[in-house]
Amino acid sequence: MPQPTSAESDDKRACFGFPAIGRKKVSAAFDGGRLTSDGGVLLLGQAERQMGIADRLAACIADPRDQSRVIHGKADILRARMLAIACGYEDANDLDALRHDPGFKLALGKCPEGPVGLASQPTMCRWENAPTTRELVRLTGALVDIYCASYPAPPAAVTLDIDDTVNVVHGAQQLSFWNGHYGERCFLPIHVYDTATGRPVAMLLRTGKTPSGAEVAGHVRRLIRRIRRYWPDTAITLRGDGHYGRPEIMAWCEANGVDYIFGLPGNRALHADPVIVTQGDACATDRAVRKLVELRRYAETRYAAKSWGEATRRVVARIEASTLGLDIRFVVTSLQDGSAERIYDTLYCARGQAENLIKLHKAQLKSDRTSCRSANANQMRLILHTAAYWLMWKLRHAMPATAALRTAEFATIRLRLIKLAARVIETATRIRIAFASACPEADTFRQIARALCPAPT
């Protein structure tokens, strides 16, 4: 009797079973051949080609390799990494398994049966650590260029939200710092978004302490000057919470034609202001007389903190009286038009959407996986995750306005449009991709594919 070959034995060990159905044995194995579980990566590949993100980023990094022996170009290496992140593979380790995935190979313009796969995990790791500090500055500037290029024409006005978020560290990483508020050693990277459209603008890794006014003013100066290269006449408004309302930032904005709306921590002088006291007392009295659970009023005054020098600025107060007492919140702004209610409720409170965008970037694209020892490598990771954010934004933006997923979070889009099983069939003259007949998002998938298809030349 012939003995089974080692390959046959491996196949038998790889098989596993499920309960029988109708007296029929159910067995399974990962031997389906040229299949992909990320069929939607083809849409992401089209989105990346349309935006040219990988080529822009690759142009910022020097390549010291002998080009006659290069197999994977810089752009392809970065492209594979950002596609993997968008598909939910935030660790470079996953590239060892994905480098021969037919869906990923097609997304990078390679034939599924080609003998050469995508770049491996060690290659990805080397290029995450390759950029110098000067190159990282250029890469960060390239993200701003991508943001400006995403508009077909310079907008009349934009509002940029600036905020930071905690990235907990796990070891002696460069720039890690103990933060008493969070009770952790961490980074506090700065995120900037065009919140009205969901576009990312800039991401900057930094140490875990609250940024000073001088530090933020420097970041804002470089960011706005980069944007002004493309949009010299666009009205720009900067918006942030209380610890961004520093005199250095406000003075720079006023000197350079940039409007701002910042939260302003309350103090004795503000709470003792005659206008605020009068409105607060009236609000509390009216609530009690009318027996309401809560009542909200708005007021504004001119205020000059000692740290502001001789500058006097417009301060808007939101006054809320409830059964728990009086709660007053302040914002400081350079905007002179609009009522106090509009400044606070419509303009300032809209910055809450930036928290949702940070969640997409950090929680759903895992940009807090800044686990390299080198600060430069972690900044490179932040750039790659921002590039993946752009791919997901572009995918969502390509959907029809009536599509249910047009306002969905990235995790939902990934589940419904990217994690699609597909069989890749390659013949001598064509490549055919067979998706499941029962795919519930088939119509939306087709519409996105058509929208991202390059125009005929």
> pLDDT of 126-146, one tens digit each?
999 999 999 999 999 999 999
**Which residues touch 269 (CB under 8 Å, ≥6 apart)?**
303, 305
Contact between 92 and 124 under an 8 Å Cβ cutoff? The reply is yes
Beta strands 177-179 and 184-187: pairing type?
antiparallel
Alpha helices (H) in 61-212, listed in sequence order = 74-86, 95-98, 102-107, 121-129, 133-149
Radius of gyration for the alpha carbons in the chain, expressed in angstroms and rounded: 27
C-alpha to C-alpha distance for 241 and 157, rounded to whole angstroms? 21
Give pTM, 2 decimals: 0.92
Structure tokens at 243: 């610890």
> Across-strand partners of 260?
238
Contact between 181 and 243 under an 8 Å Cβ cutoff? The reply is no
CA separation, residue 80 to residues 85, 327, 398 (Å): 9, 51, 21
C-alpha angle 388/392/395, rounded to 5°? 140
Q: Which pLDDT score, from 0 to 100, does residue 2 have?
A: 47
> Across-strand partners of 298?
318
Q: Which pLDDT score, from 0 to 100, does residue 10 have?
A: 56
**Which residues touch 89 (CB under 8 Å, ≥6 apart)?**
95, 98
- The amino acid that residue 455 corresponds to is A
Q: Which pLDDT score, from 0 to 100, does residue 8 have?
A: 47
Alpha helices (H) in 360-430, listed in sequence order = 375-397, 410-413
C-alpha to C-alpha distance for 102 and 24, rounded to whole angstroms? 32
Burial class (CB in 10 A: 0-12, 13-18, 19+), 162: buried
Residue the block writes with tokens 């000067």: 134
Q: Residue 389: name the closest of 90, 62, 160, 118 by CA.
A: 90
**Which residues touch 53 (CB under 8 Å, ≥6 apart)?**
82, 146, 387, 390, 391
In the predicted model, residues of the chain with pLDDT beneath 70 are 1-13, 455-457
Structure tokens at 390: 């752009």
Q: What is the layout of strands, in order, in the sheet containing 177-179?
A: 167-168, 184-187, 177-179
Contacts for 215-218 with beta carbons within 8 Å, 24 or more apart?
Answer: 216/162, 216/190, 216/244, 216/246, 216/248, 216/249, 217/246, 217/248, 217/249, 217/251, 217/252
C-alpha to C-alpha distance for 239 and 194, rounded to whole angstroms? 10
C-alpha to C-alpha distance for 380 and 164, rounded to whole angstroms? 17
C-alpha to C-alpha distance for 419 and 450, rounded to whole angstroms? 19
Structure tokens at 124: 């990805």
C-alpha to C-alpha distance for 253 and 14, rounded to whole angstroms? 64
Alpha helices (H) in 33-118, listed in sequence order = 41-51, 53-58, 74-86, 95-98, 102-107
